[in-house]
Amino acid sequence: MNKQHSIIIFLSFILLGFSIKLIGQNDYYEENFLRYDDFEYSANIKSVQLIKGDAFMLQPTILLNSNETLTLYFDDLNAGTGNYFYKLILCNHDWTPSTLMPMEYIEGLQEIMFNNVQLSYNTTKSYSHYRVSIPDKDMKITRSGNYLLVVYPEGKPEKPILTRRFYVYEESVAINASVVVPRATQKKLNSHEIFLSIDKGEYYMPQIYNNLIVKIQQNNRKDNIQVLDKPKRINGNIIVYSDVNDLYFEAGNEFRKMDIRSFVIPAGSTTKIEYDTNGYHISLETDIIRTTSNYINYQDINGRFKILNWDNTQRDENIEADYAYVHVRLAQPKYQFEGSYYIVGDFSNWRLDKNFQLDFNSQKMVYEKSIFLKQAYYDYQYVYLPFNEKTATTLPVEGSFSETENDYSIFVYYRDPGELNDKLIAYRTINSRHE
């Protein structure tokens, strides 16, 4: 690396406004540690969604050199506290920051102020609702890849309030993929098998075995993403990643439903709605372990959520939906000494951390958690994480059935020789039932 390039890298980190520090295991929960992940840095930031148009079920993706945009929505429970800005950081396939300077992947303004802010109306909990389009008309993204959206108070880029991941992709190669019921007897009843190949066509790719990375994500889960860094074989322009009995995902089960669209009339699994000096409290039916149940086919939204207010359908749900403490319980006859239970979905950023870890109540023989949520319709599941493991499993709680409907997002990255960032050269989502 020459001296000029070293200076560029150093300046790029200064421009990003974040200090470089050694990261220990406990630093993840420190206020000033920037996470290259979906994260809220303050307990006051709630109901964050990054949505493509009106399609809340889709991954937050933008086709490079198109007019596509994403919309970021969030609430700040410290109503009317000030102005916020956002900026973007280009990342590599593994979500480490690129060494490129912002001006090398953004044309125009490099930070944008939020100009759409509304105060909540007719709610018991006051909040400010923020909304912004990404990228702004004065900001153009010029490179494909993984991007981290960073939101921060005016003049304080070193103190983010939230971060969100999104993707800018090209259509340089074609993804051939399908989900099938496994042929292997031991996987047939509880897994999905994926057949995957890449047709590179005329795309020049001299370093396939070194610089080509494929990732597969089930729904929006992050703990079980599969990373394929070497193909099985190459047949002309076809790069093959899986043969029979090669590429599996635990299928899981359909998501459970949390219907809190009304704070007046109990719906779905809601058993009680109460109000006290702290606000609304909503109790749900005690959930049961589903491992011994038969598979039941019903439509879900694969872990997403949609803000809805059914108490008055004429209201603006963004600012007139209220908040409540939602009490969830999972029946379990004994404390699990070898692992922990978590409740997960888009509302938890699919993160396995203490904010969504269930606590054991020995008197009631249940695992339980109270979560502060906005009036909406939510999908959720319970997962079990054995101690000293990083990948959770649905098997001990939800069961796993090959009939389950799941989305699988496929991301194809390639770094051209001599380049300093991983390009996202293709993206596709397939469905276990519709492909």
What does the pLDDT look like over 126-156, one tens digit per residue? Answer: 999 999 999 999 999 999 999 999 999 999 9
163-201, pLDDT tens digit by residue?
Answer: 999 999 999 999 999 999 898 889 999 999 999 999 999
How many Å apart are CA 286 and CA 394, to the nearest integer? 18
Residues near 361 by Cβ (< 8 Å), separated by ≥ 6?
329, 367, 368
Q: Are residues 12 and 138 in the same domain?
A: yes
CATH number at residue 66: 2.60.40.10
Residue 421, pLDDT > 60, answer yes
Residue 28 has pLDDT above 50, yes or no: no
Distance CA(285)–CA(327), nearest Å, equals 9
Q: Name the phi and psi angles at 193, rounded to 5.
A: -110, 140
Residues 6+ apart with CB under 8 A from 155: none
The pLDDT, as a whole number, for residue 247 is 94
Range of weakest confidence among 7-11, 46-50, 366-370, 398-402: 7-11
Give the pLDDT of residue 313. Answer: 73
How many Cα neighbours within 13 Å face the side chain of 20? 9
pLDDT value at position 255?
97
Q: Are residues 350 and 416 in the same domain?
A: no
Facing residues of 151 across strands?
A: 86, 162
Segment 285-303 mean pLDDT? 94
Residue 395 lies in a domain: no
Percent of the chain with pLDDT over 70: 92
Distance of CA 348 to the CA centre of its chain: 9
Q: Which residues are CB-contacts of 277 (< 8 A; sequence separation ≥ 6)? A: none
Within this chain, do residues 160 and 141 fall inside the same structural domain, yes or no? Answer: yes
| 247/261 same-domain check | no
Q: How confident is the model at residue 306 (pLDDT cuts 50, 70, 90)?
A: very high
Same domain, 276 and 381: yes
Q: SS3 for 227-282, per residue? A: EECCCCEEECCEEECCCCCCCEEECCCCCEEEEECCCCCCCCCEEEEEEECCEEEE
pLDDT at 276: 95
Show which of 119, 153, 169 is a domain's final residue. Answer: 169
- Which residues of 311-416 form beta strands (DSSP E)? 323-331, 339-344, 359-361, 366-374, 376-386, 407-414
Q: 394 lies in a domain?
A: no
In terms of domains, do 11 and 46 share one? Answer: yes
Based on the fold, state whether residues 232 and 351 are members of the same structural domain: no
Provide the 10 A C-beta neighbour count for residue 313.
Answer: 9
Residues 220 and 149 in one domain: no
Residues 197 and 307 in one domain: no
Task: Provide the percentage of residues in the chain whose pLDDT is more than 90.
Answer: 81
Is the residue at 155 inside a domain?
yes
What local confidence, expressed as pLDDT, does residue 32 receive?
A: 59
Task: Identify the pLDDT of residue 31.
Answer: 52
Q: What is the pLDDT of residue 346?
A: 96
Assigned domain for 225 exists: yes
Q: What's the predicted TM-score (pTM) here?
A: 0.90
Q: Which of 145, 169, 193 is the last residue of a domain?
A: 169
Q: Choose between 5 and 391: higher pLDDT.
A: 391
Mean pLDDT calculated for residue range 330-356: 93
> Element (H or E) spanning 12, and its range?
helix 3-16
Q: Is the pLDDT of residue 7 over 70?
A: no
Secondary element (H or E) of residue 39: strand 39-40
Mean pLDDT of the 347-365 span:
94
> Do residues 205 and 141 share a domain?
no
Residue type, 318: N
Distance (Å, whole) CA 68 – CA 61: 9
**Contact in structure between 60 and 83 (CB atoms under 8 Å):** no
In terms of residue numbers, what domain contains 204?
174-251+405-431
22 with 128, same domain: the answer is yes
Q: Hey, what amino acid is at 92?
A: N
The pLDDT of 352-377, averaged and rounded, is: 95
**Token code pair at residue 419:** 């380049």
CA atoms within 13 A on the CB side of 89: 28
Radius of gyration of the chain (CA): 23
Q: What is the mean pLDDT of residues 231-258?
A: 94
User: Is 128 inside a domain boundary?
Assistant: yes
Q: How many domains does the chain have?
A: 3
| Residue 19 confidence (pLDDT) above 60 | no
In a domain, residue 242? The reply is: yes
Mean pLDDT of the chain: 90
Q: Write down which residue in 169, 186, 208 finishes a domain.
A: 169
* Residue 11, pLDDT score: 42
- Per the domain annotation, does 400 fall within a domain? no
Looking at the domain assignment, is residue 343 inside a domain?
yes
Q: How confident is the model at residue 4 (pLDDT cuts 50, 70, 90)?
A: very low
pLDDT at residue number 53: 84
* Strand extents, DSSP E, 64-110: 70-76, 84-91, 106-108
Distance CA 110, CA 16 (A): 10
> What pLDDT score does 178 carry?
95
In three-state secondary structure terms, 15 is helix
Phi, psi of 9 (to 5 degrees): -60, -45
pLDDT bin (cut points 50, 70, 90) of residue 435 is low
Structure tokens at 249: 């995902």
Q: Please check whether residues 14 and 150 belong to one and the same domain.
A: yes
pLDDT score at 224: 92
Q: Please give the span between the terminal C-alpha atoms of the chain, in angstroms, as a whole number.
A: 46
Does 21 have pLDDT greater than 70?
no
